[in-house]
Amino acid sequence: MNILKQFYRSLFSPKDVASFRLQKIGKTILYVFFLALLSVIPTFYNVQEGITKSIDAVADTIEDDLPDFTIENGTLHAEQEKPIILERYGFKIIFDSTGETKVSNLDANEDAIALLQNEFVIVSNGVVDNYPYTLIDVAAFSKQDVQALVQSFDSISMILLPILFVIMYVFMAGIDFLEITILAAIGLLVVSSLGKNLKFGQVWRMMAYSVTLPTVFFMIMGFLKTAVPGALLIHWGVSLIFLYLAVKEIRETD
């Protein structure tokens, strides 16, 4: 049975999952890498979309909505009497050379990019990062310089995104292997409670397929950008229940 067929059967057939305990470990490891790929796709898509939207929002705003400005001696200079606050691509963009807006005024629950009097601020996923202009090792930085820098980010992102995908994929695969190993160890208690005599390697193989259903569910939720309360508990609970049903399918003569 090929991986795609195993994937399909693992969504609803504990009996098939039980039979997979007898296959070679290499095939199961390959299947875990396949599940890791499914898990990372929505995460990477959302990250890539966020980066692209951020670059587009900044580029469009700088060109069309911001006055001419310079950053000199660590301070933003522009002809404005009050802060400029805009909404672009789901981001809030704040431009304020007056000093009226402070980092403490920013809402951590809103994704935002802010050019303030003395620092550049990024707010994303509840995290606020601020960078003083003094980090820019040049005497003066103009609006045109910023536009050129943003354009360079756009070009660089086409190179960095594939590298980011590989890093995220390797990290996700590592998490999946660790999770399956922990669940398999817990699964030994399930096996013992049912009076079955299975080795850890067999339980590990079965668990690798038992996590298929919750993996697909959370992949869909990722694409929908929907947070699921108690995600880890649900993921582990469904996986252990599926393993329980699979173990029950094993007959003493198997």
Model confidence at 252, in pLDDT bands (50, 70, 90)? low
Distance CA(211)–CA(181), nearest Å, equals 12
User: 84 with 64: CB under 8 angstroms?
Assistant: no
Three-class SS of residue 129?
strand
Of the candidates 198, 176, 195, the one whose C-alpha atom is nearest the C-alpha of residue 18 is 198
Single-letter residue type at 173? A
Q: Which helix (H) or strand (E) holds 76?
A: strand 75-78
User: What residue spans define the domains of the chain?
Assistant: 3-46+161-248, 56-157
> pLDDT, tens digit, for every residue of 134-180?
877 666 778 888 778 777 877 788 888 899 999 999 999 999 999 99
In whole angstroms, how far apart are CA 228 and each of 84, 93, 168, 171, 217?
Answer: 36, 29, 21, 21, 10
Helices (H), the chain: 3-10, 14-19, 25-64, 143-193, 200-210, 212-223, 231-248
Global model pTM greater than 0.85: no
